Amino acid sequence: MIERPSAEVTTPDSASATTERERIERLLIQEFEALKPLEPADLPRFTSYKQGGFMPSVLGFMLYCNGYSLRGTSRQCRNGLIYEDGETLFGVGIFRKTIETPIWHVMVSGPWGADGFAKVDGFIRRLRALGITSEVYVRHLPTPLYEEFLGRGYRNVDESPWCEDAPAEDETHNHKRIRLSDIIGDGLGAGREILNLPGSENRGFRTKARMAFNRFMNFLQRNDLRFTIRDYTLADREIAERLVRNHFAILKNPVGSTPEDYMSLIRHDPAAGGDQYFGKIGFLEKDTTSMPGLLFIGEKTGNSTVAMYATFANRDQEMLDPRVDPTGFSAISQSSYLLLFRELRDMGIEWVDVGGSETEDLNKFKRQLGASAVPSHWVMATSELHAGRDSV
């Protein structure tokens, strides 16, 4: 049973004291032949499972199963765990709902591939046989698979929400899939126009992104600034970490997220992602001065689709040079997306999946970029669900 105070130390990188997550990970790795720590070299394992959506991907697993989290630190499995048996794929992380709670939960991301329900259900039944009795969460489920889980006795996450304000964390709201040609015109590079959004479903959002982009371009021109964007490399790691930490320091409603959740992505070597990797870092520049402006990290999940897992724009006006007129700077977030969307169209990418949202405000922001809804769900397995069943 995992419903007891943990001996986890408060400093994640401490060499002393095994964390409760690490204890459970060792137990699971010994028990399941198909389960192992996720490594960048596992990229080829994902190829046959990618379907052109938000998940699965190496970077997606690194984000949602990560071992840097303050709610579940692992020094032995920094990127979480991967289950892959040649037919079925899913990710595994172990977390607490909050830093303060003593209750630990195994969290499954997926499954993808054949016999998904049977493999995950069997996995959870074996967890119960190992003495893990707390609620187990399964996330990133498409509607048909979600309904299958519900039909087999799993419960809706609303019955035991992961976050008070966002029951299904960033799958609470699901406007996330963007057809780039809906918002980025034809041409090449800067010659691609930012378009008004088509369709009745975008009523109220048609011109928002284009107008924001124009405001930001005017801000750059008026202050004689350049927004320089280039490939992200490990040499940028310290800058990227500071940018992400500052983002959370000024964020009004992080809904449980912390900078540590993104450390796997920031510390991942882009070279290991090959042609599947997309990473950009940007700077506001003038003469010899430079201010970090954006960090976007994603992975191809299909021939014409990129999923984004880190999407940070530096909205901290206090970091601007006092001589800069800040009018229009507030549009940096929308403009960062749009500038990178241009680059992606130049690369031949047709779709971007920016993931779901914890809040309606963030969901609305993504709708302004042309995001359409793609439902994604969580379920929860109570300790009673598999009581008395044989483990497999």
Those residues whose C-beta lies under 8 Å from the C-beta of residue 29, and which sit 6 or more positions away, are 35, 36, 37, 81
Q: First and final CA of the chain: distance in angstroms? A: 19
Nearest to 59 by CA among 293, 368, 353, 391: 353
Confidence label for 9 from pLDDT (cuts 50, 70 and 90): very low
Rounded CA gap, 86 and 139, in Å? Answer: 21
pLDDT at 57 over 80: yes
Q: What pLDDT shows up at residue 191?
A: 87
Split at pLDDT 50, 70, 90, the class of 7 is very low
The confidence score (pLDDT) of residue 392 equals 36
* Residue-wise pLDDT tens digits, 169-209: 999 999 999 999 999 999 988 889 999 999 887 777 889 99
Question: What is the rounded distance in angstroms from the CA atom of residue 137 to the CA atom of residue 180?
Answer: 33
The token duo for 302 is 């299909």
Q: Among residues 152, 147, 138, 173, which one has the least CA distance to residue 380?
A: 138
* Confidence band of 15 (pLDDT split at 50, 70, 90): low
Give CA–CA dist 297/314, Å, rounded: 15
**Residues 301-352: pLDDT tens digits?**
999 999 999 999 999 999 999 999 999 999 999 999 999 999 999 999 999 9
- The model's pLDDT over 221-276, given as tens digits with 9 standing for 90+, comes to 999 999 999 999 999 999 999 999 999 999 887 787 899 999 999 999 999 999 99
Confirm if 75 and 13 have CB atoms less than 8 A apart.
yes
What secondary structure letter does DSSP report for 371?
Answer: P
φ and ψ at residue 153, rounded to 5 degrees: 100, -5
Instruction: Identify the band that residue 388 occupies on the pLDDT scale cut at 50, 70 and 90.
Output: low
Q: Which of 317, 313, 271, 319 is nearest to 296 (CA)?
A: 313
pLDDT tens per residue across span 85-102: 999 999 999 999 999 999
List of domains in the chain: 20-168+376-381 (3.40.630.30), 177-372 (3.40.630.30)
